[in-house]
Amino acid sequence: MWIYEKKLQYPVRVSKCDVKMAKYLLTQYGGPDGELSAALRYLNQRYSMPTKKAKGLLTDIGTEELAHLEMIAAMIYKLLKDVPLEVLEREGLGAHYAVHNSALFYADPNGVPWTASYIQAQGDPVSDLTEDMAAEQKARQAYEQLLQLTDDPLLKDSIRFLREREVVHFQRFGEALNDVQGFLDSKKYY
Amino acid sequence: MQSSCRKIMSELMQWSFVQYELLLYLDTHPEDRTAYQDYVNACDKVNQLKRQYEAYCGALTPCGFAPPQYPWGWIETPWPWEIDY
């Protein structure tokens, strides 16, 4: 089970409202390599992992991704706080408003809804951990692109934190992959 | 949120980060005794700060270190996205 903690993993601060940036950040909320995809991918893959290290790591990184999802939501919430409808419309969230009003939704910046086909579960631990490593690099890349799209120093600080976490997760998944490969080799008898 | 609570929260976030970073490391390095000792210390610090925060500022989890407030305090303190950090 999971227990909710009423705190963010890292502070989320913004200098000013920014509708365009809120829209771009949706890629890390409901986009292909966003935090929702990450959490669901890892927490689902752990059931078919053969080693203790891989099961532990997928559980703990999957849980951390839920905290990142909450940070992205907090960024979007703060960037859109008290923004009048005319500004939302002018800055590109008119279509979102027509469908969702001011609600957050698991979709990418183009409005494409999140789908389970963004994630994989092949049951082969080498395939799955390799996919996870690629996903971390794609998320790292997305954060670098997002950093180029804003000049807000406070927002950049929170985005940089998330970018760094992708790098650490990539490293740990690589270690779990080595462990799994060692385990699979030890089981081969000819 | 009061500035004293913001200060404890900030320290708690820092120590929770240390704890979580070591958690992931230990998952793939279970026999690193130095990291293990650092983890024990970080956990201890996290629990101390949680105890302090919950005593003065409100619940972090519905069943935490301080007795729950009546009337129901869980829904009274601000949610993480509503706090000015």
Q: How far apart are CA B40 and CA B82, in angstroms?
A: 32
Alpha helix ranges (H) inside chain B: 3-28, 33-56
> A52: which chain B residues are within 8 Å (Cβ-Cβ)?
30
Smallest Cα distance from B45 to chain A, Å? 16
3-class SS of residue A28: helix
Q: How many domains does chain A have?
A: 1
Question: What Å distances lie between residue A103 and A33, A96, A117, B11, B15, CA to CA?
Answer: 21, 9, 24, 32, 33
The string over A141-160, giving b where at least 16 C-beta atoms fall within 10 Å of a residue's C-beta and e elsewhere, is ebbeebeeebebeebeebbe
Asked whether the beta carbons of residue A6 and residue B60 sit closer than 8 angstroms, the reply is yes
Nearest to A176 among B9, B17, B28 (CB): B28
Tell me: ipTM over 0.90: yes
> B81: which chain A residues are within 8 Å (Cβ-Cβ)?
8, 12, 70, 73-74, 77-78
pLDDT in tens, A69-124: 999 999 999 999 999 999 999 999 999 999 999 999 999 999 999 999 999 999 99
Domain boundaries, chain B: 3-82
Identify whether A13 is part of a domain: no
State yes or no: pLDDT of A51 exceeds 90.
yes
Report the CATH number at residue A43.
Answer: 1.20.1260.10
Nearest to A4 among B17, B61, B84 (CB): B61
Smallest Cα distance from B69 to chain A, Å? 15
Q: How far apart are CA A180 and CA A37, in angstroms?
A: 23
Structure tokens at A18: 């920014």
- How far from each other are the two terminal CA atoms of chain A, in whole angstroms? 42
pLDDT in tens, A119-144: 999 999 999 999 999 999 999 999 99
Q: Considering the entire predicted model, what is its pTM?
A: 0.97
Domain that holds residue A59: 19-183
